[in-house]
Structure 1
Amino acid sequence: MLEKQIEHKLLTETRKKSGLCLKFVSPGLNGVPDRLILLPGGRMGFVEVKKPGKSPGALQLQRHKQIRSLGFQVFVLDDPGDIGGILNAIQGS
């Protein structure tokens, strides 16, 4: 399965929960997660989408740590079977 396919499934499942799955791009700041998930009730989280079996690079891991230190949730998604759990975690379920 390609990263793009996993990303599309994340988008679809987020919409089913009446949320937004925004492509996150931050010019001038490399290594930020791919997607910003916004769910009803003011819930949000960041998702780094990877091809199955692939891991984030060193700079990405550094950014994840930085974002988490600010109190935000960051997830790495390389298995579409994990999408429900990630969305539930963001939702606080």
Structure 2
Amino acid sequence: MREQVVEFYLRDQVKAAGGTAYKWTSPGNSGVPDRIVILPGGRIVFVELKKPGGKPTKLQLVQHKRLRALGCDVRVIDSKESVDAFIGEWVG
């Protein structure tokens, strides 16, 4: 399964849960997470998407650490099952 399949599945599941999953690019800041997920109730999560079994690069891990130091929630999701678990945390 390609990363894009997981990404589109996340986008669709977030939308079905009443939220949005913005694609994020930040010129001059390589390694930022792929999506900013905004869920009902003002919940904001940065999501790095990977193909199954994929791991973030060192640069991505640096960006994740910076965001977490600011109090942000950063997740790495690598499968449709991980997307379902993520959505299940917020939608009950």
Q: After TM superposition, is the score higher than 0.5? A: yes
Pair 1:59-2:63 in alignment:
no
Tell me the residue number matched to 1:6: 6
Residue 26 of structure 1 aligns with an amino acid whose one-letter code is: S
Equivalent position of 1:21 in the other structure: 21
Unaligned runs of 5+ in 2: none
CA deviation after TM superposition for structure 1 residue 84, in Å: 2.4
* TM-score, normalisation: structure 2: 0.92
Q: TM-score, normalised by structure 1?
A: 0.92
Tell me which residue corresponds to 1:48: 48
Supply the distance in 2 between the matched residues of 1:3 and 1:69 (Cα, whole angstroms).
Answer: 27
- Give the whole-Å Cα distance in 2 for the aligned partners of 1:81 and 1:92: 15
Return the offset for 1:80.
Answer: 1.1
Deviation at residue 54 of structure 1 after TM alignment: 1.2
Aligned residue-pair number: 92
TM superposition shift of 1:86: 1.8
Contact kept in structure 1, 2:25 and 2:34, CA below 8 Å: yes
- Over aligned residue pairs, what C-alpha RMSD do you find? 1.4
> After TM superposition, what 4+ stretches of structure 1 lie above 2 angstroms from structure 2?
none
Identity of aligned residues (%): 41
Gaps of at least 5 residues in structure 1 are: none
**Secondary structure at the counterpart of residue 37 of structure 2:** strand
| Structure 2 Cα separation of the partners of residues 92 and 72 of structure 1 | 19
Aligned to 1:62, what secondary structure does the other structure show?
Answer: helix
2:51–2:78 Cα contact (<8 Å) kept:
yes
